[in-house]
């Protein structure tokens, strides 16, 4: 075996052409989504007003282990994929660890993250179904940017409702969306009934993700040939993100790399779910004993301190009920710069795997995460996104444990994106102005009190 290069790039002909659907090998499936109106499992028809047909099929598909990626989506992927699997030689040297450290880097595209993997798929299927318009919401802005890029490519109109306070803090995210022909609308806005209502009641509000979702959904329902699309949590989003895991798996096979532990940050769970999917198959089938670790912010600890319960996906309580680890849809996370990890729940697939003991979880305070981010940047070059840096922190801790024990573990983590649009947070850290926040048990109880009273 030749020395492993700094960066493993699969050739175009080695690129996986199928997504990986781990549900097909899970011993127990996640609970189905529940239609709150009927109390019964959501059917294909229940979901049709909201999602494209192909996406609903993927959402409900628990049988097929592999799902072909259409050629048109492969063409899009080839613009920025395969992404590199990087051997962190410099970080290993810096830490003086006997561990081998690898990271799968998804930041080398203009959206700056893995979000583009699902955006491309969702816009393609919308276009295929004859839709001409899409709406979505964005908090940190990576999803909105990714969707704008895909909409420009496939020729679909896009409105992005951006949480007003984020839009004002990161004005250039909106400008990137505009560059790709999308419209970025600070939310609450006067373009929807719900937005006008909120503005009338609370003129100075900075908005919230819940409000932006409500505006995007209202606009989608009122616009012809339009649907609302979502960037995480759902099964079909995780499915699209398995292109990350499929490539990583192929690269590991090619170089005979056997990860002992795979680490990823987890907000809604799509990147981690995508990264681990084919490795989880091996674990479920007893072929390996790979450990999987989800890393979340201490300020929004859905796995480590949440409940496994049926809950709504949005604060407006309009989605189907999903059984997942959740802090309650009414949980209000503290202002936390790792914007993409502020979701109250966790992907139902990951929640189930965690519940069944296939995955563990840790949480970190954000100043510790930025410590790790900067240590990483200075030796590995890439300036990481705050979200991704949660995984870096966990990987460094694991490597330092190996240094103590002498174990030569193989550690692999997902570096989901770059922090180029997060420099306000870096500046706060460098100025010593960043604080940590851990919700009290009382804070959590307030969130749990918003869980729906259901009994299935």
Q: Which of 320, 228, 308, 309 is nearest to 33 (CA)?
A: 320
| H-assigned helices in 336-411 | 348-355, 366-380, 386-405
User: Is residue 426 near a copy of itself by the rule CB under 8 A?
Assistant: yes
* Closest of 162, 92, 181 to residue 339, by C-alpha: 162
- The nearest distance, CB 119 to a copy of itself, in angstroms, is 11
- Minimum Å gap between C-beta 9 and a copy of itself is 5
Q: Pick the closer one to a copy of itself by CB: 423 or 454.
A: 423
**Least spacing, CB of residue 12 vs a copy of itself, in Å:** 4
Nearer to a copy of itself, 110 or 258 (CB): 110
Considering the rule CB under 8 A, would residue 424 count as an interface residue with a copy of itself?
yes
Nearer to a copy of itself, 21 or 416 (CB): 416
Place of tokens 């719900």: 194
E-state strands within 11-145: 18-20, 34-35, 40-41, 66-68, 85-87, 100-105, 133-138
Identify the bridge partners of residue 364 per DSSP, sorted by sequence position.
Answer: 297
CA–centroid distance for 140 within its chain = 12
Out of 17, 18, 90, 205, name the contact with a copy of itself by CB under 8 A: 90
Look at the block and give the residue holding tokens 């918003």.
Answer: 450
Q: Which strand (E) or helix (H) includes residue 362? A: strand 360-364
Q: Tell which one of 44, 48, 68, 172 touches a copy of itself (CB under 8 A).
A: 172
**430 versus 438: smaller Cβ distance to a copy of itself:** 430
Verify binding: residue 6, a copy of itself, rule CB under 8 A.
Answer: yes
- Contact between 110 and a copy of itself (CB under 8 A)? yes
**Choice between 277 and 418, CB closer to a copy of itself:** 418
Window of 58-66, 230-238, 249-257, 378-386 that interacts with a copy of itself by CB under 8 A: 378-386
CA distance 192 to 223: 11
User: Are the beta carbons of 69 and 377 closer than 8 angstroms?
Assistant: no
- Measured between alpha carbons, how far is residue 99 from residues 16, 93, 263, 396, 431 in Å? 28, 10, 14, 10, 33
Q: Within positions 382 to 421, which residues make up the interface with a copy of itself, using CB under 8 A?
A: 382-383, 418, 420-421
- 142-161 mask for a copy of itself (x: CB under 8 A)? -------x--xx--------
Among 98, 181, 330, 452, binds a copy of itself (CB under 8 A): 181
Backbone Cα Rg of the chain: 21
Residues near a copy of itself, by CB under 8 A: 2, 5-7, 9, 11-13, 75, 78-80, 89-90, 108-110, 112, 149, 152-153, 171-172, 175-176, 178-181, 374, 377-383, 418, 420-421, 423-424, 426-427, 430
């Amino acid at each position: 075996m030749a020395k492993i290069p700094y960066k493993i790039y699969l050739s175009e002909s080695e690129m996986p052409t199928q997504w990986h659907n781990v549900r097909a090998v899970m011993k127990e499936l996640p609970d189905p989504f529940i239609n709150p109106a009927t109390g019964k499992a959501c059917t294909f028809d229940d979901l049709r007003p909201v999602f494209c047909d192909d996406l609903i099929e993927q959402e409900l598909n628990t049988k097929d282990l592999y799902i072909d990626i259409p050629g048109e989506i492969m063409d899009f992927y080839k613009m920025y994929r395969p992404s590199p699997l990087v051997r962190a030689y410099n970080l290993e040297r810096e830490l003086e660890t006997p561990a081998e450290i690898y990271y799968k880097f998804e930041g080398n595209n203009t959206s700056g993250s893995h979000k583009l993997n699902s955006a491309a798929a969702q816009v393609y299927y919308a276009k295929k179904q004859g839709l001409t318009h899409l709406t979505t919401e964005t908090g940190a802005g990576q999803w909105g940017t990714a969707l704008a890029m895909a909409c420009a490519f496939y020729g679909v109109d896009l409105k992005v409702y951006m949480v007003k306070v984020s839009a004002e803090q990161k004005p250039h995210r909106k400008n990137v969306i505009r560059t790709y022909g999308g419209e970025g609308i600070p939310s609450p806005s006067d373009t929807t009934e719900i937005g006008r209502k909120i503005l009338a009641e609370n003129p100075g509000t900075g908005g919230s993700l819940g409000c932006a979702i409500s505006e995007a959904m209202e606009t989608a329902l009122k616009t012809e040939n339009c649907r609302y699309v979502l960037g995480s949590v759902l099964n079909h989003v995780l499915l699209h993100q398995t292109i990350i895991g499929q490539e990583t798996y192929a690269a590991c096979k090619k170089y005979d790399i056997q990860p002992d532990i795979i680490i990823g940050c987890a907000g809604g769970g799509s990147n981690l779910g995508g990264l681990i999917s084919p490795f989880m198959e091996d674990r479920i089938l007893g072929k390996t004993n790979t450990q999987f670790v989800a890393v979340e912010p201490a300020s929004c600890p859905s796995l480590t301190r949440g409940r496994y319960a049926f809950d709504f996906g949005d604060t407006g309580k309009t989605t189907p009920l999903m059984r997942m680890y959740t802090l309650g849809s009414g949980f209000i996370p503290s202002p936390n710069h790792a914007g993409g990890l502020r979701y109250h729940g966790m992907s139902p697939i990951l929640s189930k795997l965690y519940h069944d003991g296939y995955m563990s979880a840790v949480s970190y305070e954000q100043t510790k995460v930025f410590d790790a981010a900067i240590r990483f940047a200075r030796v590995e070059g890439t300036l990481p996104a705050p979200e991704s840096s949660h995984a870096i922190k966990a990987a460094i801790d694991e490597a330092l444990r190996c240094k103590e024990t002498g174990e030569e573990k193989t550690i692999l983590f997902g570096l989901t994106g770059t922090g180029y649009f997060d420099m306000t947070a870096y500046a706060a850290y460098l100025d010593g102005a960043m604080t940590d926040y851990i919700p009290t048990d009382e804070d959590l109880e307030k969130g749990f009190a918003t869980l729906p009273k259901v009994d299935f």
